[in-house]
Amino acid sequence: MPLSKYHSAEILAKTIRCHALHMVYKAKASHIGTCLSMADLLAVLYDKILRINSAQPNWPDRDRFILSKGHGAAILYATLAERGFFPVDELDTFCQDGSRLAGHVTYGVPGVEVSTGSLGHGLSLGCGMALAAKHEDKAYRVFVLLSDGECDEGSIWEAVLFAPHHQLDNLIAIVDYNKIQAFGMVKEVLDLEPLADKWRAFRWTVREIEGHDYKQIDDVLTSVPFEAGKPSVVIANTVKGKGISFMENQLAWHYKSPDHDQLAQALIELGECE
Ligand SMILES: Cc1ncc(C[n+]2csc(CCOP(=O)(O)OP(=O)(O)O)c2C)c(N)n1
């Protein structure tokens, strides 16, 4: 059978899911559901969308990627390691004393643009970078991955207001819309609907996709900006814990880390990882 057009992204997604599971298990860390939710988005971004060079992490013309939901650090580090920003072996040090791979995304790790984890700041940082690119007549784009519960933060909506005013069509927000936040369902804690209409009302161009469908992710991210002169937002419908049956849509896996048997079961479900 011929390989799917998205074969390399699929392989990357499976590999980073596998790394993230090992990392949170060893560190007894939280946020595996968070990581699995965005694995496919990260895989397509880092497989083919982002214009980056791991040999020159600070290349001035690189696209910028900000993981605003910085509690998903494990899978971002896994992705950066797989893309050659630092050795894959270093992932074993995640959340260990003395490691630079802290539990929330930390500046100083090659490929990381800014520290994140205090929710609500990534889009404003992205606005600043996108505005700087405009001022300097640079062609780089700025991608910011947000979580849905994070959209409860007022600072997100200040940035949503700011970007169209400055015609930041080099800014792309992606919302990992898995419908679960730390302590409950988004709908019950603080309903975001109608989410797409809210972004539209702030003069963004909006696309809604299935966030685990490689073709949809690829199609939408290769067609940015959706409209010249306007920022773009992709609302990606996702499943928290995606890929591991007993973690999918389960609130508990926001904080829980797998025990030995759960890790083994998860790895069986993923299939051969390395
Ligand atoms: C400013 C701030 N307040 C609270 C937290 C604690 N916290 C960590 S993750 C999280 C919410 C997680 O839900 P969501 O934002 O939807 O992300 P998901 O893990 O579902 O992708 C919260 C409140 C934080 N990191 N930052």
Interval 199-247: pLDDT, tens:
999 999 999 999 999 999 999 999 999 999 999 999 999 999 999 999 9
The model's pLDDT over 48-78, given as tens digits with 9 standing for 90+, comes to 999 999 999 999 999 999 999 999 999 999 9
Distance of CA 127 to the CA centre of its chain: 17
Statement: residue 1 has pLDDT above 90: no
119 in contact with ligand 1, CB cutoff 6 A: yes
pLDDT of res. 274 = 61
Nearest Cα residue to atom 20 of ligand 1: 181
Structure tokens at 237: 């419908």
Mean pLDDT of 156-179: 98
Q: Distance (Å, rounded) from C-alpha 162 to C-alpha 151?
A: 15
35 in contact with ligand 1, CB cutoff 6 A: no
Going from the Cα of 181 to the center of ligand 1, the distance in angstroms, rounded, reads: 6
| Helix extents (H) in the chain | 7-27, 32-44, 73-82, 122-135, 154-165, 186-190, 195-201, 214-222, 260-270
Looking at the CA of residue 176, tell me the nearest atom of ligand 1: 21
Choice from 31, 150, 191, 256 to test ligand 1 binding pocket (greatest atom count within 8 A of CB): 150
DSSP state of 62: P
147 in contact with ligand 1, CB cutoff 6 A: yes
The model's pLDDT over 125-148, given as tens digits with 9 standing for 90+, comes to 999 999 999 999 999 999 999 999
